[in-house]
Amino acid sequence: QVQLVETGGGSVEPGGSLTLSCKRSGSAFSWCAGWFRQATGKEREGVAAIDSDGKTYYADSLQGRFTISLDNAANTLYLQITNLKPEDTAMYYCAADDTGLGLAAVRAGGVRSTVQKFGYWGQGTQVTVSS
């Protein structure tokens, strides 16, 4: 049974940094893994993804402050966020694509609108940015 558990969220001031972690159990990450976020009152959106070859994909407006990485030995996905802004406040979710559909969607149209193509989800970790 696949389980994804996110940690690392918290409350930070603007300009601060956080590293989110997502530990997978049950099996290894395969085709693609990604980070998504959902702010209050908004739809869930893709932030970043990484495929099994280590190629990374980022939502256009977020490239530069977000870094996704995958430690295959630890079966753990990471998202480093720097220069945090109040608009980054959201619940951040880890997701896994074990069918290839998520990766195909990311490659075709970018990561932002691929929520429906990822089959496994964690419970989320809250990031709040305020002064």
Contact 10, 18 (CB under 8 A): yes
- Which is nearest to 87 in space by CA: 117, 47, 123, 55? 47
pLDDT at 114: 85
Q: Which amino acid is at 98?
A: D
Candidates 93, 88, 73, 72; CA nearest to 18 is 88
Mean pLDDT by 10 residues, the chain (131 residues): 96 98 95 97 96 95 90 97 97 97 94 90 98 94
pLDDT for position 62: 80
pLDDT (0 to 100) of residue 63: 72
Angle 18-69-23 from CA coordinates, rounded to 5°? 75
Residue 100: φ, ψ to 5°: 95, -10
